[in-house]
Chain A
Amino acid sequence: MITQYKVMPGPEHFLPPSAASMGNALPDPGQGHIHGTIVQEEQAMEEAARQFLSAKVPTLFPGPLVLWAWNDKAAKKAKAVRHLYETIKDSVTSTQTAMLIPMPDYRPKYPKINPEVEINPNHPNLTIWHNKIDACMFVGVHCHQANLSLKIIRGGTSCYTVAMCAQAGHEDAMLSFRDATADKIIRLADWVKKLKGSVEPPK
């Protein structure tokens, strides 16, 4: 199915459609997608690195699958996520603020979450608005919750979303990888390092 629908930074509108329902397809192994267009993984890596380096507040949102050391792979990925965060932090200018904000679980919290210290999939826009986040990456978030969050973010904010998915990728992110491993996260960090200084910082 050929689709004209592009997954772009919002705010799109309240309740945006799921990109899958608009005909956007998931990438095959070795590929990623940018705004719904399937590209080679390296191209997606470069674009993600550019987005981080050109954002005022590039942010990583690690989810429960990497926050909790429930197996060796998860522990390795957590290490890689930290490495990526430190790399972004070292690569941006003093006018930019890199952040690392956890999504510890998916419970709807009452009366509200503290957007300074966490993000919740049921209202991710609160954390994004509060911290003025303009580019983010989800990693280690279960697919259903990631899709829910990505749609809410697209619907109500202008934040650029990247998904580092361990499964088949996310159509609802503006840029998505698939089959995420610790090595892949480190490769993304290498791209950030490689492009350091070559991307114009935000004004």
Chain B
Amino acid sequence: MSKERIKIAPELFDIMPPEYQDLVEKATYGNETRGWKDIGSAKELIEEHSLCAGCPESMAFRYILASLPNPEDTVMVGSTGCTSLVFPHVAVHNIHSLFGNQNAIASGLKRALSVRFPDRHKDVVVLAGDGATVDIGLDMTLQAWFRQEKFTTICFDNELYANTGGQESGLMQKGFVAKMAPVGKTFEKVRLPEIARESGCHYVVNCTVSKPNLVEKVIKNAIHIAREIGPTYLQLYTPCILEIGKNSMEGLQEMRDSEKPSERFAYKEYVSEPAKELLTEMAAKEKERKAEAKRQLASQTV
């Protein structure tokens, strides 16, 4: 894990556009404590994005990329949707899969990476919308969990097909009327977090992305558990402000309103027993690391 992997040839450094020079000099590759607090003070792994102004998905993207524990050795698998407009701007390896088969691609990829790099942690993270995860790709999503594939699945749940104009999706709430679903949805929102738990996921979280520290925590937990134990699933509410009739500034409030205790995105977490043990170990190590850092700082001060 280091910036050595992205070194620009010294003879050609001066001709590289400044964003690439910044990526090499100021990005947080190789920093084990990287997190959302680096946003604004270090070079982010996401360049300008092409999403709508105020889009909660763009916030989620930035928090996730800032929180990846091991970005140099991470491959993200995306699917068609608004997320696929962002991936070209991301300084992390990524694959655009056919719509819906992202978990099948990730399964093969993870296995191949484990064979090719047996001594190195290679994290695979699927990031797709609710249409790809729950409707068209549900088969691939579930089969990957049944097989206990060791990667993280993140669903950006905006409760409809936003990129194509507002069609009904399985994760849309009952009764919701969208631009291209004029009669309103007639059945309940699919309870994928519960299905994930029953399908063998070791860590499942359902939440919004209104709190960056929470997003960082769940991303790190999910990736570490997937690396060591088995599949993990995060369902993050990233409302499409255009499709639900909100303005650019209202995305954050929409998420806050939706995470109240009685609402559908109230924080829910499931952790399997082996995953709990791992998290306890990780917490102990983190405590030790912080204590050591404190000791070093004190010795330097003296």
Contact = CB atoms under 8 A, between A and B. Distances in A.
B54 interface: no
Contact of A78 (B6, B11, B50, B89): B11
A68 B17 contact: no
B51 to A, nearest CB: 10
Contacts of A196: none
A67 B12 contact: yes
A81 B12 contact: yes
Q: How large is the interface on B (under 10, 10 to 19, 20 to 34, 35 or more residues)?
A: 10 to 19
B99 interface: no
Interface stretch (A16-24, A110-118, A166-174): A110-118
A104 B89 contact: no
A66 B11 CA distance: 10
A68 B15 contact: no
Most A Cβ at <10 Å: residue of B7, B15, B48, B88: B15
A62 B12 CA distance: 9
Contacts, number: 56
Contact of A109 (B10, B15, B88): B88
Contacts of B8: 67-69
B16 interface: yes
Interface in A59-107: 62, 66-70, 74-75, 78-79, 81-82, 100-102, 104, 107
Interface in B13-35: 15-17, 20
A102 B17 contact: yes
A11 interface: no
B259 to A, nearest CB: 32
Given A104-B17, A104-B20, A110-B48, A66 B12 contact: yes
B183 interface: no
B75 to A, nearest CB: 16
A197 interface: no
A180 B16 CA distance: 22
Interface string B97-110: 00000000000000
B297 interface: no
A136 to B, nearest CB: 14
A112 B127 CA distance: 26
Interface in B65-91: 85, 88-89
A180 to B, nearest CB: 15
Contacts of B88: 107-110
Most B Cβ at <10 Å: residue of A66, A74, A79, A104: A104
A101 B12 CA distance: 10
Interface string A109-131: 11100100110000000000000
22 contacts: A66-B12, A67-B8, A67-B9, A67-B16, A68-B7, A69-B9, A74-B9, A75-B9, A75-B10, A78-B12, A81-B11, A104-B16, A104-B20, A107-B88, A109-B89, A110-B48, A110-B50, A110-B88, A110-B89, A114-B17, A117-B15, A117-B17
Given A100-B15, A102-B17, 9 more contacts: A67-B9, A78-B12, A81-B11, A82-B12, A100-B12, A102-B16, A109-B88, A110-B48, A117-B15
Interface of B: 5-12, 15-17, 20, 48, 50, 85, 88-89
Interface of A: 62, 66-70, 74-75, 78-79, 81-82, 100-102, 104, 107-111, 114, 117-118
